[in-house]
Structure 1
Amino acid sequence: MFKEASSTLVDREWRIAEVCQRVEHNLDVLGVTAIEDRLQEGVPETIETLRKAGINFWMLTGDKQNTAIQIALSCNFISPEPKGQLLQIDGKTEDEVCRSLERVLLTMRITTSEPKDVAFVVDGWALEIALKYYRKAFTELAILSRTAICCRVTPSQKAQLVEILKSCDYRTLAIGDGGNDVRMIQQADIGVGISGREGLQAARAADYSIGKFRFLKRLILVHGRYSYNRTAFLSQYSFYKSLLICFIQIFFSFISGVSGTSLFNSVSLMAYNVFYTSIPVLVSILDKDLSEETVMQHPQILFYCQAGRLLNPSTFAGWFGRSLFHAVVVFVVSINAYAYEKSEMEEVAMVALSGCIWLQAFVVALETNSFTLLQHLAIWGNLIAFYIINWIVSAIPSSGMYTIMFRLCRQPSYWITIFLIVVAGMGPILAIKYFRFTYRPSKINTLQQAERMGGPILSLGSIEPQPRSIEKDVSVLSITQTKNRNSVYEPLLSDSPNTRRSFGSGAPFDLFQPQPRLLSSLSYSRNCKDN
């Protein structure tokens, strides 16, 4: 029987499990071998810290249920009674799993608003039935629960569970240390492999490789948060500096009769993005708004990243408005400053370009939180390099800018114009930033101020966004899908009575009463968003 089951091409794992269940019974145990698998150092503390950061945890393991529960208790994955409650989804038939799933869903709905830590545990057999016939119901359960234990699961089931969570628009991170975790790691948005005694298969297939589980805390809270902040600034600033020069060109087209003439020459436009504005923003990837120690002490600030506070349509609109405002300032001041002088168009273009470069330097300096020597060199050294490059170009007789930069730098009106551009462009932005930092500071501003003053922060209050209403996000639950019984399950699953169950306006436990059958998966709708 075992050879036949192991050689089949359809549902091989479940056929082997069926054979094992038929053979492995009424055995006389002659000896028992126990293997001690201790938890790594820092696992409970890491899980507790990441929970404070608003991260939900799922344990997907091939161990037996009792073993998985004991491990979960030892590493603070779940809370013991009475602080916590562990619900179980079990059953060997579709109806047993359905009733168990309904019971857990009802409990989850009731306890969602309570501070009690509620988790559920499911084995591989019940999980296979739930994913096959009641996938949407299980998806809703995944949304409602913050902690889950899935034991006796296969590598393919691990990947399926990750896929379910991704389908709800949640960002998933899978971490594992063995070959059985490779599919799960590759399916997740971010894969983390632990290199250890079980080999390097998981580490080689992952996006990130760490040596210990406790390093995950630093990877997410420190490096993950810094990466988000820097990416948010880099992407929006890149649009800002490009839109600034584009708006000036658009304004110039109106006063030139829409002739198609460019205010800036091709060399200046090329150097603007390649040399003049690229180096300062690239060095900004070293910026840190908070020290690593502060971030580790207050993991709740990760909610700002999860909520997209620094990169969203509102912040992008702010950068868009800033580019438009600065373009108006540069264009109006430059044109009016040289409107009554006998100036060439190249001189006006160089004044406008100089104003853009000065504004870029002050914008980067204003958005930088931690200055280093390299950042000072990049910001102010790049400004000096702008004049050196244009002096060299102005010294070439064949260039279209011959002697222009030398003449401008000797004129007091040029430096007065640059001063007016900087004051008019940065004054309102500095005022808004000062008002927000002084009168409406965020939790991040509070921590920054504490770091500068050298004082501790005992409590930041509630940073977590308000929880979404379950009634609005999840529709009324009903079971209406007809069973699609696979022939593989025919000898394993017994026929069950027809039932109809629903979560509606009736009595809470009416759903367990037998009624005429109209089976289905759970109708489900949810507007999932990143936390």
Structure 2
Amino acid sequence: MIQEAHVGIGITGKEGLQAARISDYSIAQFRFLLKLLLVHGRWNYMRACKYTLGTFWKEMLFYLTQALYQRWNGYTGTSLYEPWSLSMFNTLFTSLAVIFLGIFTKDLAAPTLLAVPELYTKGQKHGGFNIWLYLGWSLMATCEAVIIFFTMWSLYGLARVNPSGNDIFQLGLLTFSACIIVINVKLQALEVHNKTYMSLAVIIISVGGWFVWDMILDREYTMSSGKGVYFVPGNFLQHSGHNLLFWVVLLLSVTAVLLFEFTVSTLRALFFPTDVDIFQEYEQDLDIRKRFEEAAASELQQGWDHGTKKSSFELAREKEEIAELDARERQVRELLARPRVMDKPHAVEHEMDGYTSASATASHNGSLARPEPERRQSVEIQELFSQGFGTVRKGQLK
């Protein structure tokens, strides 16, 4: 049975450990299958789909710009990109974006998936990867490649006033830079629902590493004795890097692509929403998220890594603790603001005189009841501090 299944899950029990040892996943109790299937199973399915779609998308975006350039070089097959950079595109500059997308992304929180088991059917219906999704991502890659290339060609390649020139090295450098930035920002900012500092680190490392690579190329080409179509000594540091037009066109091309991506995603979620879009919006509401957590409370108590987002139970507990501490601090300040009897001798004499007169009056009236003196405020404060209320300690009263 385990050999025929797509994923083998073994449960340790009285029959031994043979099935658990040869399985893909081993669990101690049958009830653990709920989290493994509904949460981790769905997360892994969505991650694999995102990784596949992201890989196809970035390759089409990058290499379609080269295909568009062939019209202007007589279809000779001349590469728009520098050969060393071209060989490092997948290895150094875009590998982290798709790898981290396929490992850490979570489209929905665990309480939501446990409270609504119907969300698991997305994998059964092939909702994460199908021919229509592939065609949609391919169409987006084609449109974005057109935007990047023609923005570069019309504003930089055909510019009449260009201090650093518009040779093939600089055209390729500008297009390559735009593709690197767009790929990392889309895959780690637009496609990741649970954004963390790790996503920001991936963008900084990949994009920053690309510009460090350009500095290394400048040094290598400066020291090289050979000449060729890409022999442009100190191009980035001494020419393109000091050209304001280069950075303006780069900013415009990246902004245009990201604005196009954001507009298409917003319109799709508005007119053709999926279950994921609807429940992601539900999770933004604290009351609805609390109901999801209450429905999955029995499973959540077994231990979960909530990440940076606190649960509704934790938020409610923090509010109660803060309100209780504020009430205690307010009570302490009110008691401290009252006049202390022990510090005023005349007040003590007045209190004793009142007590004596009250006793005499009671005796004169023939009453056996003895009126108790008024409780001193200092005693109340000492009792309050003995219970540990407030931030003021007993030693501060001395």
User: TM-score range, shorter-chain basis?
Assistant: 0.5 to 0.7
Q: Residue 198 in 1 paired to residue 22 in 2?
A: no
For 2:2, what is the secondary structure of its paired residue? helix
1:393 and 2:393 correspond: no
Q: Percent identity?
A: 28
Tell me which amino acid in the other structure corresponds to 1:398. M
Asked whether the equivalents of residues 346 and 401 of structure 1 are also in contact (C-alpha less than 8 Å), the reply is yes
Q: Are 2:138 and 1:320 aligned?
A: yes
Query: What secondary structure does 1:185 align onto?
Result: coil
Kindly state the Cα deviation for residue 401 of structure 1 after the two structures are TM-superposed: 5.1
Deviations 1:107-141 (A, max 9, x none): xxxxxxxxxxxxxxxxxxxxxxxxxxxxxxxxxxx
Give, in whole Å, the separation in 2 of the partners of 1:437 and 1:352: 30
Larger Rg: 2
**Residue 77 (structure 2) aligned to one of 246, 252, 260:** 260
**Distance across 1 between alignment mates of 2:205 and 2:23:** 40
Q: CA deviation at 1:439?
A: 4.7
> How far apart in 2 are the matches of 1:401 and 1:232?
41
2:201 to 377, 393, 396: 377
Separation (CA, whole Å) in 1 of partners of 2:281 and 2:287: 9
Query: Where do 1:87-166 residues align within 5 Å?
Result: none
Superposition pairs of residues 341-490 of structure 1, within 5 angstroms: 341=162, 342-364=165-187, 365-396=189-220, 397-398=222-223, 400=231, 402-406=233-237, 407-456=239-288
Unaligned regions of 5+ residues in structure 1, if any?
1-183, 460-531
Separation of aligned partners in 1, 2:284 and 2:174? 38
Is 1:295 aligned with 2:113? Answer: yes
Contact 1:192 / 1:208 at 8 angstroms: preserved in 2? yes
Normalising by structure 1, we get a TM-score of 0.50
AA at the equivalent of 1:251:
L
Q: Which has the higher helix share?
A: 2
| TM-score of the superposed pair, with normalisation by structure 2 | 0.66
Greater strand content: 1
Residues in 2 aligned to 1:401 and 1:281: alpha-carbon distance in whole angstroms: 32
Deviation at 1:205, TM superposition (A): 2.3
Q: 1:186–1:205: 8 Å Cα contact kept in structure 2? A: no
Q: 1:437 touches 1:445 (CA, 8 Å); kept in 2? A: yes
Query: 1:361, 1:380 within 8 Å by CA — same for their partners in 2?
Result: no
Task: Report the Cα offset of residue 220 of structure 1.
Answer: 0.9
Over residues 297-342 of structure 1, what are the superposed CA-to-partner deviations in whole Å (9 max), with x where a residue is unaligned?
A: 1111111121111200000001111111121112111122222343
Whole-Å Cα distance in 1 between the matches of residues 32 and 213 of structure 2?
46
Q: CA separation in 2, counterparts of 1:402 and 1:209?
A: 58
Distance 1:440 1:254 in 2: 37
Alpha-carbon offset, residue 363 of structure 1: 1.2
Letter aligned with residue 418 of structure 1: L
| RMSD of equivalent CA atoms | 1.8
- AA aligned to 2:177 is S
Report if aligned partners of 1:263, 1:345 keep a CA contact under 8 Å in 2.
yes
Structure 1 position 417, deviation (Å):
0.8
Task: Give the structure, 1 or 2, with the largest relative contact order (CA under 8 Å, sep 6 or more).
Answer: 2
The 4+ residue runs of structure 1 with deviation greater than 6 A are none
Unaligned 5+ residue runs, structure 2?
Answer: 225-230, 293-398
Aligned partner letter, 1:334: M
The Cα of 1:287 is off from its aligned counterpart by: 1.1
Distance 2:263 2:174 in 1: 26
Which residue pairs with 2:45 in the alignment? 228
1:404-463 CA-to-partner distances (Å, cap 9, x unmatched) read: 21222221111111122122212222112122334543332222122223231679xxxx
